[in-house]
Homo-oligomer: A and B are copies of this chain.
């Protein structure tokens, strides 16, 4: 399969949930996906820091994109599991960076781990997810 471009995937993301949140894809490689997200107030908790659910949705998007660009022809994928460790807060108005790397790319499952950091490189969250590879 030829890799899709960042622009092609971004166009798919824009009308769906990652688009609602404002996820901006930056890098797309077979074992690594990077994106940015501006921490808008409507992605936050009442305390003005990025909502835990927004961390998880941001990461889930990157792990799914990573899996999709690795799928053999005629296959599809679904997330079966995701686990998150929340480590640090990201304030409204800042930008966070998510980097998802493949821990495993098998025929039946793929495992992707996404690290979310603040602009200054402070660790915010680590999300590990399992993607099942299914017949299309």
Q: Mark A8-48, 1 if CB is under 8 A from B, else 0.
A: 00001001111110000000000000000000011111100
Q: Mark A100-136, 1 if CB is under 8 A from B, else 0.
A: 0001101011010100000000010010101010100
Contact of A46 among B16, B82, B108 (CB under 8 A): B16
Contact between B86 and A84, CB atoms less than 8 A apart: no
How many angstroms from the CA of A81 to the CA of B114 in the assembled complex? 15
Q: Which residue of B lies closest to A54 (CB)?
A: B17
Asked if A64 is at the interface of the complex by the 8 Å CB criterion, the answer is yes
From A61, A79, A103, residue with most partner B Cβ within 10 Å: A79
Contact of A128 among B44, B53, B89, B128 (CB under 8 A): B128
Residues of B within 8 A of A78 (CB): 86, 89
How many angstroms from the CA of A111 to the CA of B134 in the assembled complex? 18
Closest CB pairs A-B (n = 4) = A53-B57, A83-B83, A17-B51, A81-B81
A→B interface (CB under 8 Å) = 12, 15-20, 41-46, 51-54, 56-61, 64, 78-87, 89, 103-104, 106, 108-109, 111, 113, 123, 126, 128, 130, 132, 134
